[in-house]
Amino acid sequence: MRYDASQALSFSLDGEDLLFNPGDTILQAAHRGGRYIPHLCWHPDFAPHGSCRLCTVKVNGRTGSACTIQAAAGIEVESNTEELNAHRKTLLQMLFVEGNHFCPSCEKSGHCALQATAYQMGMEGPHFEEFYPTRPMDASHPDLLLDFNRCILCGLCARASSEIDGKNVFAIGGHGMGTHLVVNSPSGQLGDTDMAATDRAASICPVGVILPKRRGFVIPIGERPYDKQSPADVEAELAAGGTT
Cα 227 from Cα 221, distance rounded (Å): 7
According to the model, what pLDDT value does residue 18 have?
96
The mean pLDDT of 206-234, rounded to a whole number, is 88
pLDDT above 80 for 234: no
> What is the CATH topology of the domain spanning 87-213?
Alpha-Beta Plaits (3.30.70)
The mean pLDDT of 123-142, rounded to a whole number, is 93
- Quick one: pLDDT band at residue 236, thresholds 50, 70, 90? confident
According to the model, what pLDDT value does residue 3 have?
63
> In the chain, where are the structural domains located?
9-80, 87-213
According to the model, what pLDDT value does residue 216 have?
84
According to the model, what pLDDT value does residue 237 have?
79
pTM over 0.75: yes
According to the model, what pLDDT value does residue 158 have?
97
- Quick one: pLDDT band at residue 205, thresholds 50, 70, 90? very high
According to the model, what pLDDT value does residue 2 have?
66
3-state secondary structure the chain: CCCCCCCCEEEEECCEEEEECCCCEHHHHHHHCCCCCCCCCCCCCCCCCCCCCCCEEEECCEEEECCCCECCCCCEEECCCHHHHHHHHHHHHHHHHHCCCCHHHCCCCCCCHHHHHHHHCCCCCCCCCCCCCCCCEECCCCCEEEEHHHCCCCCHHHHHHHHHHCCCCEEEECCHHHCEEEECCCCCCHHHCCCCCCCHHHCCCCCCCEEECCCCCCCCCCCCHHHHCCHHHHHHHHHCCCCC
According to the model, what pLDDT value does residue 176 have?
86
- Quick one: pLDDT band at residue 124, thresholds 50, 70, 90? confident
pLDDT above 90 for 8: no
Task: Give per-residue pLDDT as tens, 168-194.
Answer: 999 999 998 889 999 999 999 999 999
Tell me whether domains 9-80 and 87-213 share a fold.
no
According to the model, what pLDDT value does residue 35 have?
95
- The yes/no answer on whether domain 9-80 falls in CATH 3.10.20.740 is yes
